Structure 1
């Protein structure tokens, strides 16, 4: 009801997406994709690449003509390639190392290629991440009115980029969408001045990154599609921070629960919790200004209590 109230009355949709492993210490290949309002952090939808009521094939490579091609087989072989930790590096080095980690994958659109260890869930089946990413954006854009502009910010990764570009092809042709990568330091804020913008072409794709920095922090954007590529506007505006905060907060609050040894290979038990947490985050959780994401979006007048949410 609240989602419909937003998407039906919004004049445009300024969204950001993010993804990360659902259980960071399990190495079970389950990824969690989320998309929401970039400014308020209201989460529109989320999906995981896991199906609890299916069983995978015992072995075999990906065959797109097979009915079960979307499922990862139990004999899936990882490449023993540990991703490089780049959190403490400056922006340019962090982006470059991310490109190196992406190109090290057998399939650049499959983040499972960067796993150093892999333990298949004991029940259910894993879905290949690109299938989930495409389905995620099909669902997101199906909720958005075709006649209204969509702005979508993404972290630097082809698993999101390829899906978003393919699903949004008609909107790109009609010039009603803006797609861009965003990377910013943790201490970047909206009050940082932008005096100088450097343009660099990076990675195998020669992506055109616009970067700015000052004494405190740095930020970069890479405009992927649309008809408004002015870097200064996006450097001031674009951010994926709210969605990343939502996902990292879930993992912080429920760290012991999601990494409990018996649950590491049973991700299905977390799915109902994800639904409750999304509703709680949107309608109950009050930020520093004492307002919920739904209030900041203008679709509710007051926070819901947990009792009201679950009743």
Structure 2
């Protein structure tokens, strides 16, 4: 089951500070006067996974703040209505919601959760901070996962390459299939750093499918010029799409995400969902 959050707030904030001050009111708001700094992002393309991972690290380090993805924008357009939330605050809120949902009071103390995330320190910092207690008690594991679109689950892969990458010297394990597709895993926290196991099981296909399908279905609506200036109308659409994906959409076995978790007994129809 997937959920999606944005860094947009429908509420206007006129007193946000240009320079971030974590102790000030509205510290989480990106001010309307914000402008992108000189962009140093490397636009080169790479055919192999390890080179793409390395380019991502270089682009992260090119930001004025490595934990602020807005630093990679060559051009920045602020919405006419509402306000934007700084990326670290959005990331922390996202993981706090996951923590609240998965580790409720009086819940099973032996529950183990594994979080896969794309390669970005803003996500790593938020997850490490929010789940610190659960990580120390060996209930949560964190890792970066990057893979080629052509990667086939269940197919055997060749020798695993282990390499330290980026300024952080992150330990990546990369493996390759005979088709040429590759997958890489960087184990960040937990008590089971068995990269051979995670290279077989860790997967981000569902997240990619979710994002790509939303863009495919609603690209013209999202990119409509007036909608970009007034993005509040996208939030109800995101809610409907999330509910459809979790409660209505059936996989090849005819099961929804909610059915696989035992939350529902049968798929919901779109009409039932909207009613």
Q: TM-score, normalised by structure 2?
A: 0.93
Q: State whether residues 80 and 117 of structure 1, in contact with CA within 8 Å, keep that contact through their aligned partners in structure 2.
A: no
For residue 116 of structure 2, the aligned residue among 147, 153, 159 is: 153
The equivalent residue for 1:70 is 28
Tell me which of 199, 209, 213 is aligned to 1:245.
209
TM-score by length of structure 1 reads: 0.82
- Aligned length, in residue pairs: 269
Q: Which has the higher strand share?
A: 1
Q: Any gaps of 5 or more consecutive residues in structure 2? A: none
Question: Is it true that 1:225 corresponds to 2:193 in the alignment?
Answer: no
Counterpart Cα distance in 2 of 1:261 and 1:169? 42
Q: Match of 2:64?
A: 106
Give a deviation string over 1:20-68, Cα, whole Å, max 9, x none.
xxxxxxxxxxxxxxxxxxxxxx21x332111112324375211112111
Is the 1:62–1:69 Cα contact (8 Å) retained in structure 2? yes
Structure 1 residue 144: Cα displacement: 1.1
Residue 254 of structure 1 pairs with residue 218 of structure 2: yes
Report the counterpart of residue 303 of structure 1 in structure 2. 267
Q: Which has the higher contact order (CA 8 A, sep 6+)?
A: 1
1:178 alignment partner, SS class? strand
Q: Is the Cα–Cα contact under 8 Å of residues 197 and 210 in structure 1 kept in the other structure?
A: yes
Q: Contact 1:59/1:75 (CA < 8 Å) preserved in 2?
A: no
Deviation, structure 1 residue 153? 0.6
RMSD over aligned Cα atoms:
1.6
Q: 1:263 aligns with which of 218, 227, 230?
A: 227
After TM superposition, the structure 1 stretch with the greater mean CA deviation from structure 2, 293-302 or 211-220, is 293-302
Task: Report the Cα distance in structure 1 between the residues aligned to 2:14 and 2:127, rounded to whole angstroms.
Answer: 27
Match of 1:278 in 2: 242
- Tell whether 2:161 aligns with 1:203: no
Per-residue CA shift, 1:204-263, capped at 9, x if unaligned? 000000111133111110000001001111000001110121111111100111111111
Cα–Cα, structure 1 residues 193 and 87, in superposed 2: closer, same or farther, change >3 Å?
farther
